């Protein structure tokens, strides 16, 4: 039967090679199964047949049953139309067509009984239906159909080839006939009964051919349950497997380096959240299992410090550690922070980036091999072939979303035994989404900012109010504060008229002329050396204003910069806006974020700006983002732990169900880790079918 579902769609009655090609191209339907899982986007209630004397223009789509009494034309030129008088035993209305009139007259003959479907309107005081759907009453009785009628979204091309929603429904009817109304179950009986789920066959049939809304509800629940359940089952099985197989280095001591740092160098008290997370990490490191932990914390929550202390534990146990960052600026920033914090300790820290000189590289190489190098900080350069550690014990990956899984995998392979891995991200992901995106990682959350931070004040100005903003900046600069100005692009968009960075720079230089003001510029097309120089100017407080593209988006830590101006803010997504805003508010001063936009905002852009003004809470912003955009955009699917598109479930809306099925999956695997029990046979078969071919992605993270 499984094989039957893999049959190419062209073999289905009513399809054939030509239509098959269209279905492939337009709807991604290649097999019987694809068609079966092509779900309707809405339903129309056709359970009731109205009488003509009940009709008025307030009614939605309705149907009536009667006969065509005759055709004639009305109007002239573009208003010329074909009209039919349509009658039942209570009265008569007009059916109206502006196009395809010849075909209509040939297809629907007077005095035969038809069901007419459409939205009633009124013209010159007479009820009419424009371009109605018509079907012979007896035909409806014959085909598989239902009163609660499924509507499928099809494309223009498909409609031009008569592959309308109704045609798709007919094909589905043919399909159910061909498989003889029997589909093999894909969930074990005990799950169906325990969680009160409809059988697969019933669910699939009812989702396409329901009799009422309750049918749709019940069918939809079963199908969503299954879709999310298998994803979680796969993630947890994978996680358990790894935990069983991969032995991890045991870091049993917290030694001299850690203690020295903690008692002598740590400039402030850890927040409660930092302490809790450190405990979680220490537990992992001492467990004998390989740590794979995601550290989530809003921007500015102090993740770097947690990374640093974890690395010190590695060093105390005789291992090396590294931090990998997505940009040179950020790697440089970490290097600066780490070396500063470790002053007076005998720890050898080095920075390796794409622009490191060859002599430095070979020096680093040597010291990696002879173990004299303790901490290596860098960019992608760390994963190049020729970088070899002698005993890499801990890998920290910062701002995780910038790295592909494959790049991470390369780091794994640098050791015979996989090092412990700490992945840090400031992209706040709602809990249930994290369960799916990072479902195979353990998650720690820093949900508290260091004390004394004042919430950033966010304001919105239109471009026309620019002068007000300049006045505000002048005041802040006169108080000794520094200002970021960020642009979405530099000369990348020809079509659209966005203020780009160069214009902005010209403009700012006029408003803030030297020698009174110093402006520094950073963008993606500069060489690393020039970039570094500009950053330094700003970091050392010599420049008042830093104009930048989104290169500063992640991680840059300059406490004295307390104003962030985001130009063309309507162009940025919510999480990006939040990240950018997080560059300020790091010192004790009141910080400001100014969102500049053009006068015309789309509904979504206005909603984004509104949320930014309303809250500083990254998680609330992420939830809103999820609702505004849907989860698809947040993280590429390949990275997300879902190797296929979701057909029916919605990561944004089905959060509760995700948690529910995750617990069920955990429970099942706790009792039967390899899914070997008889009752779980179906589960392992389904897992093979769903994941085996596409499993390679998940060998990694």
Contact flag: residue 271 with ligand ADP (CB under 6 A): yes
C-alpha span between 293 and 503 (Å, rounded): 44
The item of ligand ADP, Mg ion, none sharing an interface with residue 450, based on CB under 5 to 8 Å by kind, is: ligand ADP
The item of ligand ADP, Mg ion, none sharing an interface with residue 652, based on CB under 5 to 8 Å by kind, is: none
Contact 103, 89 (CB under 8 A): no
The item of Mg ion, ligand ADP, none sharing an interface with residue 69, based on CB under 5 to 8 Å by kind, is: none
**Which two three-digit tokens encode residue 529?**
């050396």
554-573 residues in contact with ligand ADP (CB under 6 A) are: 557, 559
Shortest distance, position 372 Cβ to Mg ion, whole Å: 27
Contact flag: residue 426 with ligand ADP (CB under 6 A): yes
- Mask 230-269, x = binds ligand ADP (CB under 6 A)? --------------------------------------xx
Residue 402 or 586: the one with the smaller Cβ distance to ligand ADP is 586
Strand-pair category, 133-136 with 320-324: unpaired
Residue 55 or 449: the one with the smaller Cβ distance to Mg ion is 449
The H-or-E segment that residue 669 falls in is helix 655-671
C-alpha span between 485 and 506 (Å, rounded): 13
**Which two three-digit tokens encode residue 157?**
């091309």
Strand-pair category, 126-130 with 120-123: antiparallel
Shortest distance, position 567 Cβ to ligand ADP, whole Å: 23
Contact 375, 348 (CB under 8 A): yes
- Mask 575-594, x = binds ligand ADP (CB under 6 A)? -----------x--------
Residue 301 or 317: the one with the smaller Cβ distance to ligand ADP is 301
Contact 481, 589 (CB under 8 A): yes
Length of the chain equals 701
The item of Mg ion, ligand ADP, none sharing an interface with residue 135, based on CB under 5 to 8 Å by kind, is: none
Position among 104, 150, 168, 305 found at the interface with ligand ADP (CB under 6 A): 305
Contact flag: residue 582 with Mg ion (CB under 5 A): no
Contact flag: residue 304 with ligand ADP (CB under 6 A): yes
Shortest distance, position 157 Cβ to ligand ADP, whole Å: 48
Shortest distance, position 586 Cβ to ligand ADP, whole Å: 5
Residue 436 or 562: the one with the smaller Cβ distance to ligand ADP is 562
Three state DSSP letters for 200-261: HHHHHHHHHCCCCHHHHHHHHHHHHHHHHHHHHHHHHHHHHHHHHHCECCCCCCCCHHHHHH
Q: Which residues pair with 130 in a beta bridge?
A: 96
**Which two three-digit tokens encode residue 487?**
């642009």
Shortest distance, position 302 Cβ to Mg ion, whole Å: 9
Q: Which residues contact 641 (CB under 8 A, 6 or more apart)?
A: 231, 235, 436, 437, 438, 439, 440, 698
- Mask 441-480, x = binds ligand ADP (CB under 6 A)? ---------x------------------------------
Half-sphere exposure of 569 (CA within 13 A, CB side): 32
**Which two three-digit tokens encode residue 607?**
């909603």
* Number of residue whose CB is nearest ligand ADP: 302
**Which two three-digit tokens encode residue 41?**
């986007």
Q: Which residues contact 682 (CB under 8 A, 6 or more apart)?
A: 185, 186, 187, 188
Shortest distance, position 304 Cβ to Mg ion, whole Å: 5
- Mask 533-572, x = binds Mg ion (CB under 5 A)? ----------------------x-----------------
Residue 237 or 581: the one with the smaller Cβ distance to Mg ion is 581
C-alpha span between 194 and 374 (Å, rounded): 54
Residue 586 or 608: the one with the smaller Cβ distance to ligand ADP is 586
629-668 residues in contact with ligand ADP (CB under 6 A) are: none
Shortest distance, position 279 Cβ to ligand ADP, whole Å: 15
Three state DSSP letters for 63-79: EEEEEEEEEEEECCHHH
Interacting residues toward ligand ADP by CB under 6 A? 268-271, 274, 297, 299-305, 426, 450, 557, 559, 586
């Amino acid at each position: 039967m499984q094989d039957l579902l893999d049959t190419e769609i062209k073999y289905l009655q009513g399809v054939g090679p030509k239509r098959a090609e269209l279905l492939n191209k337009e709807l991604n339907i290649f097999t019987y199964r694809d068609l079966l899982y092509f779900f309707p986007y809405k339903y129309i209630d056709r359970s009731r047949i109205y009488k003509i004397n009940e009709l008025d223009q307030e009614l939605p789509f309705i149907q009536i049953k009667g006969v065509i009494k005759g055709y004639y034309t009305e109007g002239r030129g573009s208003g010329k139309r074909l009209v039919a008088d349509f009658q039942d035993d209570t009265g008569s209305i007009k059916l109206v067509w502006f196009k395809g009139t010849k075909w209509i007259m040939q297809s629907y003959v007077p005095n035969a009984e038809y069901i007419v479907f459409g939205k009633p309107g009124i013209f010159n005081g007479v009820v009419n239906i424009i371009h109605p759907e018509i079907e012979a009453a007896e035909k409806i009785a014959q085909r598989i159909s239902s009163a609660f009628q499924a509507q499928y979204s099809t494309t223009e091309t498909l409609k031009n080839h008569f592959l309308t929603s109704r045609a798709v429904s007919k094909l589905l009817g043919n399909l159910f006939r061909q498989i003889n109304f029997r589909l093999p179950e894909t969930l074990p009986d005990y799950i169906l009964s325990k969680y009160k789920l409809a059988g697969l066959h019933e669910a699939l049939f009812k989702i396409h051919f329901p009799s009422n809304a309750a049918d749709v509800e019940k069918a939809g629940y079963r199908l969503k349950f299954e879709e999310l359940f298998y994803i979680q089952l796969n993630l947890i099985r994978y996680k358990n497997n790894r935990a069983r197989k991969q032995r991890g280095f045991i870091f049993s001591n917290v030694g001299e380096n850690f203690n020295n740092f903690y008692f002598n160098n740590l400039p402030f008290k850890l927040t409660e959240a930092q302490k809790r997370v450190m405990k979680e990490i220490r537990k992992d490191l001492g467990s004998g299992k390989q740590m794979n932990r995601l550290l989530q914390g809003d921007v500015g929550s102090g993740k770097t410090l947690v990374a640093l202390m974890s690395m010190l534990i590695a060093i105390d146990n005789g291992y090396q550690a590294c931090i990998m960052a997505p940009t040179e600026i950020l790697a440089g920033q970490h290097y600066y922070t780490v070396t500063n914090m470790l002053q007076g300790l005998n720890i050898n820290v080095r920075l390796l980036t794409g622009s490191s000189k060859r002599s430095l590289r070979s020096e680093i190489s040597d010291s990696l091999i002879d173990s004299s190098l303790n901490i290596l900080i860098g960019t992608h350069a760390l994963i190049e072939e020729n970088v070899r550690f002698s005993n890499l014990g801990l890998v920290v990956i910062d701002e995780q979303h910038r790295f592909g899984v494959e790049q991470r995998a390369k780091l794994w392979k640098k050791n015979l035994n996989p090092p412990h891995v700490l992945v840090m991200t400031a992209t706040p992901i709602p809990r249930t989404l994290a369960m799916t995106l990072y479902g195979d990682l353990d998650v720690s959350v820093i949900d508290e900012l260091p004390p004394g931070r004042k919430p950033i004040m966010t304001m919105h100005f239109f471009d026309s109010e620019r002068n007000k903003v300049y006045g505000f900046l002048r005041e802040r600069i006169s108080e000794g504060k520094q200002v970021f100005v960020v642009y979405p692009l530099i000369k990348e968009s020809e079509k659209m008229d966005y203020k780009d960075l160069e214009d902005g720079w010209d403009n700012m230089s006029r408003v803030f002329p030297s020698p009174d003001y110093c402006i520094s510029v950073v963008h993606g097309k500069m060489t690393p050396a020039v970039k570094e120089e500009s950053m330094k100017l700003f970091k050392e407080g010599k420049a008042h204003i830093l104009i930048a593209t989104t290169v500063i988006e992640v991680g840059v830590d300059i406490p004295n910069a307390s104003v962030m101006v985001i130009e063309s803010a309507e162009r940025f997504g919510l999480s990006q806006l939040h990240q950018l805003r997080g560059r300020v508010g790091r010192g004790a001063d009141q910080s400001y974020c100014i969102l500049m936009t053009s006068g015309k905002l789309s509904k979504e852009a206005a909603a984004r700006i509104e949320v930014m003004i309303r809250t500083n809470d990254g998680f609330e912003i992420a939830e809103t983002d999820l609702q505004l955009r849907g989860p698809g955009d947040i993280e590429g699917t390949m990275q997300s732990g879902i190797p296929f598109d979701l057909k029916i479930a919605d990561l944004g809306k089905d959060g509760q169900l995700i948690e529910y099925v995750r617990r069920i999956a955990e429970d099942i695997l706790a009792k039967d880790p390899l899914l070997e029990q008889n009752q779980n046979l179906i589960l392992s078969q389904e897992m093979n079918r769903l994941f085996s071919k596409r499993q390679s992605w998940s060998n990694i993270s």
